[in-house]
Amino acid sequence: MNHSVLWADIGLLATAVVWGAAFAVLKDTLNTFQPMTLLAVRFALAAMILSMIFIRRVSRMRWVDLKAGFIVGFLLFLGFIAQTYGLVYTTAGKNAFLTTTYVVVVPFMGWVLTRRFPGFHAFLSAGLCIAGVGFLTLGGEGVGGFNKGDALTLLCAVFYSAQLMSIDHYAKRMDPILLAVTQMVAMVVFCGIFAIPFETWPTDISVRGLMGMAYLVLFATVLAFAVQMTAQRHSPPTHVSLILSTESFFGALTGVVFLGERFTGKMTLGAAFVFGAILVAEVLPRWVRQTTET
């Protein structure tokens, strides 16, 4: 493994930790801000900060860069909407694991787009994932079994898969920082369209709510997206998705530690099935290739 790939992997793992913790932070911050308002403010501040840091690169932005960012940003918008509203109705831990099912979706989406058969391991991975989702959503306590929050979270996994594929397409063709900034601008536009007429600004913003917003802006958005865009120039989308999928573990952990959420035995088994599906999707084909080559 060369140094570029190694540093990319380290950066992606750090991003997974930050995003994992963001599940609990986001759920807590939703007590202060309504979903669309939270997302609009989060990405507006993040876009301004990144633009100020990389003012020279942003000043060279072309129309084609803005167009690419709005395509990626629209897919991100759909994913965030489904995930954020899903988090209103389900737990942070379940939301984290169900979100990472996008890793299983990526090979099938690639099959549709490139007409390359993903391999039989993809179907095994899908089967494990479906079983894991069943245990996770039907074994929960206090969330009514499978609920609309779980359904929305599964839908967000599909949108995140499409966004990951679009990043892979554009990140190798343009400045990754410009891609990060333009997709954030797109998020502000799309979220603002719904937030302004349908939501109200909170009348009482607590210190906890401000701290939550600060974490989401500085760490879970500015730092994490800049690292993801840069790292994905050195790693294929399936490799990226495997590392980022560990956010599910960190998301469930922070939900238990900071929000007092409880994982039942069935939910733990479901989480193990989902993570097993991720390993089958990413590790098994590499192991087979190495075995046949030797």
The answer on pLDDT for 78 being more than 60 is yes
pLDDT at position 68 is 92
pLDDT at position 259 is 80
Buried b (16+ CB within 10 A) or exposed e, 56-85: ebbeebeeebbebbbbbbbbbbbbbbbbbb
What are the residues whose beta carbons fall under 8 Å from the beta carbon of 287, sequence distance 6 or more? none
Distances (CA, A) of 159 to 101, 105, 109, 244, 267: 11, 10, 11, 15, 24
pLDDT in tens, 145-203: 678 888 999 899 899 889 988 888 887 788 888 888 999 999 999 999 999 999 999 88
Beta carbons within 10 angstroms of residue 206's beta carbon: 12
What are the residues whose beta carbons fall under 8 Å from the beta carbon of 259, sequence distance 6 or more? 24, 27, 28, 91, 92
Closest residue by Cα to residue 154 from 133, 125, 123, 128: 133
The answer on pLDDT for 139 being more than 60 is no
Average pLDDT of the chain to the nearest whole number:
83
The answer on pLDDT for 143 being more than 50 is no
Residue 152, amino acid: L
The answer on pLDDT for 104 being more than 50 is yes
pLDDT in tens, 15-48: 888 988 998 898 899 999 999 999 999 999 999 9
pLDDT band at residue 266 under the 50/70/90 scheme: confident
pLDDT in tens, 58-71: 998 889 889 999 99
pLDDT at position 277 is 79
pLDDT at position 71 is 94
Distances (CA, A) of 37 to 99, 192, 193, 213, 283: 21, 7, 10, 11, 39
State percent of the chain over pLDDT 90.
28
Structure tokens at 55: 């003012």
